[in-house]
Amino acid sequence: MSRKTNLMRLLESRRIPYETHEFSTDIRSAEDAAKVLGVPPCHVFKTLVVTRQRGCPLLVLIPGDRVLDLKRLARSIRGKRLRMATHKEAETLTGLEVGGISALRLVHKGFVVYADEAILSLPRVYVSAGHRGINLSLHPEDLLRVANARTVQATRAQESEPTV
């Protein structure tokens, strides 16, 4: 690791074990990151920014092999009128680049954080360290605790492309 981030220092100060994984900053999807990391896409969690009509935006952690289901998320949190933030909105709201948005890096920034319940079935997850090209792997319970995240039903399977 060429540099230690404030997020890494935060985890260390709380005595939370993690591993650092670096890869090309050109990689921006969870699926591509999973290939480079040599893990199934369901272990790489992406952090999505969701806006709502009233209140601060949400951060939603979902597995790389799933898609966000806004209706399911809304039912789970008893919310209304949720929508995905555009890339520009997500970067403006978080101060981080898409591909490097991290719920852990945004601790104490006023975001409500949710994680898809699939996280509970995994022994280890990979999340952005707050910079493109750097992921951290850690135990899901540690991630949920530090990010003050609640688990919800928020995803559905990706629709496969039709075969010809």
In a domain, 160, yes or no: no
In a domain, 87, yes or no: yes
What local confidence, expressed as pLDDT, does residue 164 receive?
45
Q: What is the pTM of this model?
A: 0.91
In a domain, 26, yes or no: yes
Which CATH number belongs to the domain containing residue 109 in this structure?
3.90.960.10
E strands in the chain: 19-22, 45-51, 58-63, 66-68, 83-84, 112-116, 125-131, 134-138, 150-152, 155-157
In a domain, 158, yes or no: no
In a domain, 17, yes or no: yes
- What is the SS3 assignment for 146? helix
What local confidence, expressed as pLDDT, does residue 80 receive?
85
CA-CA distance, 111 to 149, in Å (whole number)? 10
Low-confidence residues of the chain, pLDDT below 50?
161-164
Domain count within the chain: 1
What local confidence, expressed as pLDDT, does residue 155 receive?
96
Location of structure tokens 């949720």:
82
